[in-house]
Chains A and B, each alone.
Chain A
Amino acid sequence: MKNSKLMRVLMIMGVVVLSLVLTGPSVVGAKEPLVIGLQAPITGPWAYEGQMAKQSCEIAAQLINQKGGILGGRMIEVRVVDDEGQPKTGALAATKLVGQKDVVAVVSTYGSSVCEPASNIYEKFKKVNIGYGVTAVRLTQRNMKYFFRTCGRDDSQGEFFAKVAKERFNAKRIAIMHDNTAFGKGLAEDTKRGLKQMIDSGKTQIVYYDAITPGEKDFHVLLTELRESKPDLWYFTGYYAEAALLVNQAREIGIKFPFVGGNAAINDEFVKIAGLSVAKGCFMTNEPLPSDLPSTEAKEFLKAYKDKFGEIPSSPWPVYAADALNVIAHAVNESGSTDADVLSDYLRNKANGVPGVTGPIGFTEQGDREGVPFYLYVVDAQGRIVVSK
């Protein structure tokens, strides 16, 4: 009796000692990881973009960790929360991340309509959040302290389109179609404003201005109306899922005028769904694609991404996500703090020329990214998206 009791006590002690020995070094010696949150549409209509963003953040973290991490050896850990590309799920995702005390800052998100409610929550609970695929101008007009974005804004895109319409296409009759989302409608309005000078001087007119309902599939009726308004040029400011359907159905009913998408309209998924024969020759106003980025950071990032995932990202947003993570890591490292106010102040006032995949990163007083160029892209005969000459 006494013997077995003794044996039991010895066994329990042995287990405790063993577990301390095995886990000891990691508890005592190593530093705890630095957690950066990522809110992205991993499922839902923008799953393709969301998954690329997740992969990009993993690569960005991996590159930083390979160089020794930040704050003297802390490794970066990316914590992903799915917002399904829906505003209400976005709010839930933000709530989840603000509740986790070890999350220092958040990379959030793709889709201005999802970002708006999410960023409200981050602001309320004082968590730095950096948007990577959110270009609606309105987002940085809300006097927020903790919201930034590494991507550009739609007013510069609208101006760029006006320039392209005049110089490249010489368009006299322009059709603008949006999808009533925060981003799509915003870009359409910005484009109208960008075209204002040309309209006032009589050089061009907007012959069609209407919206589709996102999530729908059948656009034959609306496209027939578009065709009858006889434009020279068609600008669609919505997302790629609907863009693919629109272009397909447009060609079916005999629309021949050129299609220009906004910067959410064309990626590899668009080419896949629309089919090569239809996608060929479609244009897009876009920030530089990853394959066109010149910096050494870009080359290093793309090589690491391709080694792990087989091909580089096909749209600019995932690399903006990577840069959001990079700039957060840089801010934490340089300021030595994970406090939201310190980070916010650093990003706004001291971040200048921070090396990023998309170029040097700096923010304006309102939190916008400084200096984002636009190019005109076209889908070539092999289905690749290249800069249009």
Chain B
Amino acid sequence: MQVIIEQLINGLTIGSFYALIALGYSMVYGVLKLINFAHGDFFTLGSYIGYTILVFGSALVTSHFGLWGGLIAATMVAAISLAIVGILVERSAYRPIYASGRLPAVVSALGASILLQNAIMVIWGPRYQAYPASLIPNIHLHLGGIHITLLQLVILIMSLCLLGILYYVIQKTTFGAAIRATALDRDTAALMGINFNTVILFIFTIGPALGAVTGVMVGSYYRQISFTMGWNYGLKAFTATILGGIGNLPGAMFGGLILGVLEMLGCAYISAAWKDVFVFLILILVLIFRPTGLFGETIAEKV
């Protein structure tokens, strides 16, 4: 029984990482109908900035505020930096071509992704970097027979809280309604008095910032980061977005969590080597019976 709970926690932790990154994809796609390939690299950049702050700022921060203080500082700096980078990328790579249609936008997104990935490689080097073990709190807990670290628990709770806060903002607040309205029909929303620029500002600051926070969490959890990790996580997160229904924000969150749990089930009960096969098989089956994803709305065709 305890093993099942441990595995569930493992699955939910991975799932919450996917969910947080999937949110970024889903927000941008919903409003702009653009798949922001650079989002995986926002996540990677956040992780690297967190690493830099932790390693070079450790003398200042960690010695004064302790290990947790160091992590919090790294997270905050990474989030703010990525919010700025997100806006920069939007202004330079996406805004000039909104009017040009979807294909130029896709190409531009790919270009932004390649640029960011190679910039990270040039700045930090092609080798793996590691969040130093001495700067990460390492406290083991045994709750009712379950092996878990305090960091894992904090990360899981923080991820679920972030997801909860975002769910609330998007579903229950007026601004969230504005975002959803813009996703539904941009021009009509503008006619209703919704400022498109404010919506863009939100999704390109909060999305990348969330990606950065996830990056620091992933960095401190696994401690190994590389400039290509955005690709792997981005792919999984994108799958989660499709699973939940692209353009649907709560769908992306649940898609991520479900994907993490599915991976866990495939790995634990079928075979670790076949787990990805299992996950994508489920995805294909879901899409056959519900093409718009688990939570996607079937959009009526105008005749």
Contacts and interface: CB of A to CB of B under 8 A. Distances in A.
Contacts of A38: none
Given A224-B268, A273-B224, A47 B127 contact: yes
Contacts, number: 87
Interface string B249-286: 00000000000000110011001110110000000000
Interface string B90-127: 00000000000000000000000000000001000011
B130 A43 contact: no
Nearest to A216: B232
A48 B228 CA distance: 15
Nearest to B11: A221
Given A212-B272, A217-B229, A225 B267 contact: yes
B290 interface: no
Contact of B223 (A220, A222, A275): A275
B128 A218 contact: no
A221 B7 contact: yes
Contacts of A252: 140, 147, 149, 152
Contacts of A276: 133
Contact of A221 (B133, B228, B267, B273): B267
Interface size class of A (residues with CB under 8 A): 35 or more
Given A220-B10, A273-B130, A210 B272 contact: yes
A245 B224 contact: yes
Contact of A213 (B3, B11, B276): B276
Interface string B1-39: 001001100110110000000000000000000000000
A210 B229 contact: no
B126 A44 contact: yes
A282 to B, nearest CB: 15
Interface residues of B, number: 34
Contacts of A216: 232
Contacts of B152: 252
Contact of A228 (B3, B11, B13, B149): B3
B6 A43 contact: no
A244 interface: yes
A221 B263 contact: yes
Nearest to B226: A45
B19 to A, nearest CB: 14
B218 interface: yes
B224 A221 contact: no
Contacts of A48: 127-128
B267 A277 contact: no
A58 interface: no
Top 7 closest pairs, chain A to chain B, by CB = A275-B133, A211-B273, A220-B10, A43-B126, A254-B147, A222-B272, A221-B267
29 contacts: A42-B126, A43-B126, A44-B126, A47-B126, A48-B127, A180-B273, A211-B272, A216-B232, A217-B222, A217-B229, A218-B10, A218-B13, A218-B14, A220-B13, A220-B14, A221-B7, A222-B267, A222-B272, A225-B268, A225-B272, A241-B128, A248-B222, A248-B223, A269-B128, A272-B130, A275-B133, A275-B223, A276-B133, A277-B133
Given A210-B271, A217-B232, A221-B264, 19 more contacts: A43-B126, A44-B126, A47-B126, A48-B128, A210-B272, A213-B276, A215-B232, A218-B10, A221-B10, A221-B11, A221-B263, A224-B6, A225-B267, A228-B3, A244-B224, A245-B224, A252-B152, A273-B224, A278-B133
